[in-house]
Amino acid sequence: MEHRKLVQPEYMNDQGSLFGGYLLKWIDEFAYITACIEHPGCRFVTIGLDKVEFHHPISLGEILRFAVTQVRQGKTSVEYLVEVFGEKNARDCEETLFATKITFVNLDSTGKKRPIN
């Protein structure tokens, strides 16, 4: 599933690039949306992100495309690969600006793990 986000002035640091925390927030949000749509009726919580390393600055006005792909499903958890691409200011719109895997676990109403339907 794909999602998009416009990088606005309030997301920038004093060096003129995107604060990494905003990028991680969007990754969590868009992967969560994808998980909920693909697995209706589940109550997911984030349990981890894999390898958070920033290699490319992201500039003001960039339109980010988040490609969210399920890579693994266990009994109670699901993992997604999230790749981030720039569609406006990036040199190459197919170059990955950032990528990570994020894992969610499905919980019941008491907070205990439960199987994914």
Paired tokens of 6: 């416009």
Structural domain includes residue 93: yes
DSSP state of 18: B
Q: Give the CATH number of the domain where residue 19 resides.
A: 3.10.129.10
Distance, C-alpha 24 to centroid of its chain: 6
Is 113 among the domain residues? no
Q: Which pairs count as long-range contacts for 10-15, CB under 8 Å and 24+ apart, including other chains?
A: 12/60, 15/57
Q: Which pLDDT does position 7 carry in this prediction?
A: 97
Whether 50 is in a domain gets the answer yes
Residue 67 has pLDDT above 80, yes or no: yes
Q: Is the pLDDT of residue 91 over 80?
A: no
Q: How many structural domains does the chain have?
A: 1
> Containing domain of residue 52, as a range?
2-106
Write the CA distances from 105 to 15, 30, 46, integer angstroms.
Answer: 36, 16, 7
> 66 near 5, Cβ under 8 Å?
yes
pTM of the full structure: 0.93
Q: Tell me, what's the pLDDT at 89?
A: 77
Q: What is the pLDDT of residues 8-55, one digit of tens each?
A: 999 999 999 999 999 999 999 999 999 999 999 999 999 999 989 988
Q: What are the CA-CA distances from residue 71 to residues 7, 13, 54, 109 (Å)?
A: 27, 32, 22, 26
